[in-house]
Amino acid sequence: MKSLSVFCFFCLFLLLVVSASTVASDKNAADDDVFVNPESLVRGLYAAVTFDPGTTPDWDYVRKFFIPEAVFAMRKTRTSMAVMNVEEFVGWFEADVEKYNMKERGFEEIIQKMKTTVFGHTAHCFVVYKVRFKTPADLPGQLGMDSFGLMKKDGRWWIVSVTNDIVTPQNPLPEELR
């Protein structure tokens, strides 16, 4: 009887290990699909920073979209811009999650329009997006535009640079992105 219990425990343990590795393998395979072309890379980034109330982004996963030397020129407030590296960008975003109670409210960036140009191992992507808290659901959000510089290296695409600005009456979208 004791042998049967040990055998059952071993089988259950083996089943759990195999199941966990299969789930991890499936997630890694799905993650790899994000890096196969410039458009999927950029769409994947927006999905990675969007989160439901009660959660926050997986920052280690977000870092995987960028080469370590990536540069961000970001609109930090309506009147100021800042240049950052990947770690500064993640730290700024994490601080905003805390500052604006985003964990409780949820957050989303929704692509409204995307224009991508690829040439060899380089690409450029303009994205018009709407950013908003998920709750309350009737918030209108803010339009903005991101400009991504991308490169293909080591069999996958990477974000090299991001520049960003917001849409205002004084700063409307360019005609070709409306």
CATH of the domain at 141: 3.10.450.50
- Report the predicted TM-score, pTM, of the whole model to 2 decimal places: 0.82
| pLDDT per position as a tens digit, 80-123 | 999 999 999 999 999 999 999 999 999 999 999 999 999 999 99
* Domain assignment present for 48: no
Domain assignment present for residue 109? The answer is yes
The answer to whether 72 and 146 have CB atoms below 8 angstroms apart is: no
Number of domains observed in the structure of the chain: 1
Cα angle for residues 129, 131, 134 (degrees, 5° grid): 135
Looking only at the bridges linking them, the beta strands covering 122-133 and 80-84 are unpaired
Instruction: Please indicate, yes or no, if residue 40 is contained in any of the structural domains.
Output: no
28-82, pLDDT tens digit by residue? 445 689 999 999 999 999 999 999 999 999 999 999 999 999 999 999 888 999 9
Is 135 within a domain?
yes
Residue 130 resides in a domain: yes
Collapsing DSSP states into helix, strand and coil, what is residue 63?
A: helix
Query: Does residue 118 lie within any of the structural domains?
Result: yes
Residues spanned by the domain of 87: 59-177
